[in-house]
Structure 1
Amino acid sequence: MRRSIVPVLLTVFALAGCERAGILAPDGARNVVAAPERHPILFVHGFNSSGSVWTTMIASFKADGWTDAQLVNWSYNTSQSNATTAQQIRTRVDSILLATGATRVDVITHSMGGLSSRYYAKNLGGDAKIDAWVSLGGPNHGTTWAYGCATTSCVEMRPNSTFLKSLNATDETPGAPRYATWWSACDAVIEPDNSTPLIGATNTQTACLGHSDFYKDPTTYAQVRGWVHR
């Protein structure tokens, strides 16, 4: 009698262990726990800059398993309206999705790049195509620094500009994307410092970083990587 019970008990314990490990579902079907998906990433630089600023961060992503096809940096005319850049972002995202077969992208931005990508998300259907959105030192509520230049994009970056009032109206983080911002009290370009955080986003204050340090700082990179790959 005892010999016949032992195999049954061992089988029950084994099945229970498999269920806890995620190998078998309660109905006996396989329940494979997949690793987080790596979406392709579009990097959007800021004013008077270029796609080359992302070299360090892209190298870090590649070292952590992302492929060349999944890491896209580009350059655009930073004097034009952010609404115009948003249209270019829409074209770029559609191209990335077609090339990679992905259904969504992650968007990592620096400075003014946050404004055009937010416009894309809010007004051009980008909220359905972005999984994670990141703003590093973004003038999301304007910066007094922009009073020192007169291009269309600079005027749009000024506090209380018509562009920003419209962009921030109703919902600062619309749709399905997971929004996150990083800002620094030592960022002399974004004034006031609290311009970057968005209502509805996960907002993180960094160590004392200058405006051009965000995309090179290893601690910020690790946090951004954790945000997009979850």
Structure 2
Amino acid sequence: MKLRWSRTLTLLPALALALGVTATAPAAAAHPSPAATPAGDAARHPSHMAPTVRSGWNDYSCKPSADHPRPVVLVHGTLGNAIDNWLGLAPYLVARGYCVFSLDYGQLPGVPFFHGLGPIDASAQQLATYVDRVLAATGTSKVDIVGHSQGGMMPRVYMKFHGGAGKVNALVGLAPDNHGTDLNGLTRLLSYFPGAKQYLDKLTPGLSDQIAGSEVLNRLNAGGDTVPGVHYTVIATKYDEVVTPYRTTFLDGPEVRNVVLQDLCSADFSEHVAIGLVDRLAFHETANALDPAHATPTTCASR
């Protein structure tokens, strides 16, 4: 038994790290102290809803313009958070005139900064609450959602099972694990480590939910990948080492556009992390998806 648990504890960190490589070093300075937030705001809103104004995003006084009539909600990936995952894309969109918001979700007790580890259904309900708050603050009826990794897949759970279908105009996924992942076969090793899957399910259910064939993913994709009325864009990289095989990120259905960055620029070598954090071509494609009427071709020169 001791040997079995030793093997289990050896495998779990590898799975957690592989599924959660969207994380960056926590930008602690980006999270304001209570004194820096609007008076009483921390008391009025749970931690996953508390606004953080940085470089013009999460500004609840922002009102969408005629050019960009919907707020954009950014949904981080596994082990990410509302700030660190979006230090590149959020300012990029703000500079283009969007009202941009981001949330923390999937928190585990006693685990700061690194979120997206809780059950995906519970995270989808957190997103539902947050979207309602953004809609109320901006006076709009729909949002556009941009998500990285789990953050590109989990909003589909929100739309299908938590009342979000009528509140979302477009979903843009940056390397989303829409059909789960096998981590290049690593998840299949779980059966060789007795107790490992149960341990993972109990301590980090958000990781288990992203394994190909999970109950959540089977339920999500049953009956079709999309819901009516939502425009979908999936932006993938063939160098994705987390969502494997990388084409499992794609969706099938009406109002879907699947994009591989390397088809647009063969010199783009971004993998799973970079596509959401720093890839300017992915950012350009995101902007095109949010405003298709004014889209411009994405090339190696796009910035």
TM-score category of the 2 structures, normalised to the smaller one = 0.7 to 0.9
Q: Is 1:228 paired with 2:290?
A: yes
The two structures, once aligned, show a CA RMSD in angstroms of 1.7
Distance between the aligned counterparts of 2:74 and 2:170, measured in 1? 12
Distance between the aligned counterparts of 2:128 and 2:174, measured in 1? 20
1:74 maps to amino acid: L
1:44–1:110 CA contact under 8 A, matched in 2 = yes
Post-superposition offset of 1:224: 0.8
Distance between the aligned counterparts of 1:197 and 1:144, measured in 2? 15
Match of 2:257 among 202, 207, 215: 202
Per the alignment, residue 186 of structure 1 pairs with 239
Per the alignment, residue 213 of structure 1 pairs with 274
Q: Is 1:132 paired with 2:170?
A: yes
1:60 maps to amino acid: Y
Distance between the aligned counterparts of 1:36 and 1:100, measured in 2? 15
Q: Is 1:72 paired with 2:92?
A: no
For residues 72-111 of structure 1, the aligned pairs below 5 Å read 72-76=101-105, 77=107, 78-111=116-149
1:51 maps to amino acid: A
* Secondary structure, counterpart of 1:108 in structure 2: strand
Distance between the aligned counterparts of 2:156 and 2:252, measured in 1? 13
Post-superposition offset of 1:75: 1.6
1:228 maps to amino acid: L
TM-score (norm 1): 0.80
Post-superposition offset of 1:36: 4.4
Distance between the aligned counterparts of 1:62 and 1:163, measured in 2? 34
1:79-100 alpha-carbon deviations (Å, 9 max, x no partner) = 2111000001000000000000
* Secondary structure, counterpart of 1:109 in structure 2: strand
1:38–1:229 CA contact under 8 A, matched in 2 = no
Post-superposition offset of 1:35: 5.8
TM-score (norm 2): 0.61
2:68–2:97 CA contact under 8 A, matched in 1 = no
Cα 1:35–1:100 change in 2 (3 A) is: closer
Post-superposition offset of 1:64: 1.0
Distance between the aligned counterparts of 1:140 and 1:155, measured in 2? 14
* Identical counterparts, % of pairs: 28
1:82–1:115 CA contact under 8 A, matched in 2 = no
1:142–1:158 CA contact under 8 A, matched in 2 = yes
Post-superposition offset of 1:114: 2.1
2:75 maps to amino acid: V
Cα 1:35–1:101 change in 2 (3 A) is: closer
Distance between the aligned counterparts of 1:195 and 1:157, measured in 2? 12
- Specify the structure having the higher radius of gyration (Cα): 1
1:181–1:197 CA contact under 8 A, matched in 2 = yes
Per the alignment, residue 155 of structure 1 pairs with 208
